[in-house]
Amino acid sequence: MLNFVIFGPPGAGKGTQSEKLIDKYQLIHISTGDLFRAHISNQTTLGQKVSALIADGQLVPDEITIAMLEEEVDKNPSAKGFIFDGFPRTVPQAIALDEFLESKGSSIAGVIALDVDQDELTKRIAERQKLTNRVDDQADKLQKRIEEYFSKTIHVLPYYEEQQKLSKVNGIGNIDDIFAELCAVIDKY
Ligand code: AMP
């Protein structure tokens, strides 16, 4: 299996680029944010448990998120590989993912971090809010998500840097140019 993590703050373009990558490389896209939103709209027990946290822009506890992620991977036993989007967001999640993949004789091949400055992120999310009306894209909730990113999620980067798996890509510019840069990274594997 060829597994990648696409990493970056809210609004970096992880979802957009993941869609293009799965098309080209026939990988399975797992977005924990999308999975949570599906649970919430289907009003599952899990959805009911996490909806207030997500609406508030807080991270869902690791054990819940990890269990959901592992279940999703297990639904795709014949996958060529996965693009993990929005996961891992904490170091314990990154460790759990490594252990889980190792138990399947697999691993993370590479981590691609999309680099986008704060002004551009705020602008993009304001645009997205008009289109999707996500409650957690509202200004105060967005602020909370950005704080969660800089207090917890950013520490995942050195974790992968130490494993020499991290590639940084400029996430500002034309979507196709950014995509070409991502492909150049993936094609090295
Ligand atoms: P996203 O669509 O990736 O921005 O995720 C939306 C929200 O889902 C986040 O703000 C968190 O509340 C929750 N979430 C998604 N992925 C994770 C994760 N890996 N760990 C904890 N919470 C998550």
What was the pLDDT predicted at 92? 97
What Å distances lie between residue 154 and 73, 129, 159, CA to CA?
A: 24, 24, 10
Domain assignment present for 161:
yes
Q: Which of 56-60, 113-117, 122-126 has the lowest mean pLDDT?
A: 122-126
| Mean of all residue pLDDT scores within the chain | 94
Number of independent structural domains in the chain: 1
Q: Is the pLDDT of residue 133 over 90?
A: no
Q: How far from each other are the two terminal CA atoms of the chain, in whole angstroms? A: 11
- Residues 7-26: pLDDT tens digits? 999 889 999 999 999 999 99
Domain assignment present for 34:
yes
Mean pLDDT of 171-178: 96
Q: Is the pLDDT of residue 137 over 90?
A: no
Mean pLDDT of 98-114: 97
Q: Is the pLDDT of residue 150 over 90?
A: no
Which CATH number covers residue 164?
Answer: 3.40.50.300
Q: Which of 62-71, 84-93, 129-138 has the lowest mean pLDDT?
A: 129-138
Domain assignment present for 97:
yes
Q: Is the pLDDT of residue 138 over 90?
A: no
Q: Ligand 1 atom closest to Cα of 85? A: 3
Domain assignment present for 188:
no
Q: Which of 17-21, 26-30, 145-149 has the lowest mean pLDDT?
A: 145-149
Mean pLDDT of 107-115: 97
Domain assignment present for 185:
no
Active site residues: 14, 89, 128, 134, 145
Cα 142 to averaged position of ligand 1 atoms, centre (Å)? 12
Q: What angle do CA 10, 16, 22 make, to 5 degrees?
A: 125
Instruction: Show contacts of 172-177: CB within 8 Å, 24+ apart.
Output: 172/115, 172/116, 172/117, 172/120, 175/13, 175/16, 175/17, 175/20
Q: Is the pLDDT of residue 125 over 90?
A: no
Domain assignment present for 147:
yes
Contact 25, 79 (CB under 8 A): no
Residue 122's pLDDT band (cuts 50, 70, 90): confident
Q: Is the pTM of this model over 0.85?
A: yes
Out of 40, 60, 87, give the residue to mutate to test ligand 1, the one with the largest number of ligand atoms within 8 Å of its CB. 60
Structural domain of residue 160, as residue ranges? 4-180
3-state secondary structure the chain: CCEEEEECCCCCCHHHHHHHHHHHHCCEEEEHHHHHHHHHHCCCHHHHHHHHHHHCCCCCCHHHHHHHHHHHHHCCCCCCCEEEECCCCCHHHHHHHHHHHHCCCCCEEEEEEEECCHHHHHHHHHHHHHHHCCHHHCHHHHHHHHHHHHHCHHHHHHHHHHCCCEEEEECCCCHHHHHHHHHHHHCCC
Rg (CA), the chain: 16
Mean pLDDT of 107-128: 91
Domain assignment present for 163:
yes
Q: Is the pLDDT of residue 61 over 90?
A: yes
The residue whose C-alpha atom lies closest to atom 2 belonging to ligand 1 is 33
What was the pLDDT predicted at 147? 86
Which residues form the pocket of ligand 1, taking CB atoms under 6 Å from any ligand atom?
10, 32-33, 36, 53-54, 57-60, 65, 86-87, 89, 93, 136, 145
Domain assignment present for 79:
yes
The residue whose C-alpha atom lies closest to atom 8 belonging to ligand 1 is 33
